[in-house]
């Protein structure tokens, strides 16, 4: 009985390998994975850009219309006035 199970499992492996080769094999699987990876990266990049634009507009609404939402803010500390007369 064990030998029959072994023979059936080997036949199943051979049939699975044959089916894989008929559908394109490992080369086709790699190409499909690369295509899906590229497509996913493009979708992620687009979603990031849309989210960034929406947040910029929201910032403009919250801060008021006089603030340019495209302008970058300088958060660096200003140097103290060393030569000011007292």
The pLDDT of residue 79 is 55
Q: Token pair of 82, please?
A: 């060393």
Angle between helices 2-22 and 25-63 (to 10 degrees): 60
Consecutive H or E run containing 63:
helix 25-63
User: What is the distance between the alpha carbons of residues 45 and 37, in angstroms, rounded to a whole number?
Assistant: 12
pLDDT in tens, 4-59: 999 999 999 999 999 888 887 777 778 888 999 999 988 888 888 999 999 999 99
Query: Residue 76 has what DSSP assignment?
Result: S
Overall pTM surpassing 0.75 (yes/no): no
Please state the domain extents for the chain: 38-63
User: What is the distance between the alpha carbons of residues 86 and 83, in angstroms, rounded to a whole number?
Assistant: 9
**Degrees to nearest 5, angle at CA 57 with 56 and 58:** 90
pLDDT band of 86, cuts 50, 70, 90: very low
């Amino acid at each position: 009985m064990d030998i029959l199970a072994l023979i059936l499992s080997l036949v199943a492996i051979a049939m699975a390998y044959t089916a894989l080769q008929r559908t394109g094999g490992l080369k086709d699987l790699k190409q499909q994975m690369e295509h899906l990876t590229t497509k996913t990266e493009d979708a992620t990049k687009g979603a990031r850009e849309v989210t960034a634009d929406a947040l910029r507009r929201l910032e403009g609404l919250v801060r008021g219309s006089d603030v340019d939402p495209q302008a970058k803010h300088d958060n660096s500390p200003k140097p103290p006035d060393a030569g000011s007369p007292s």
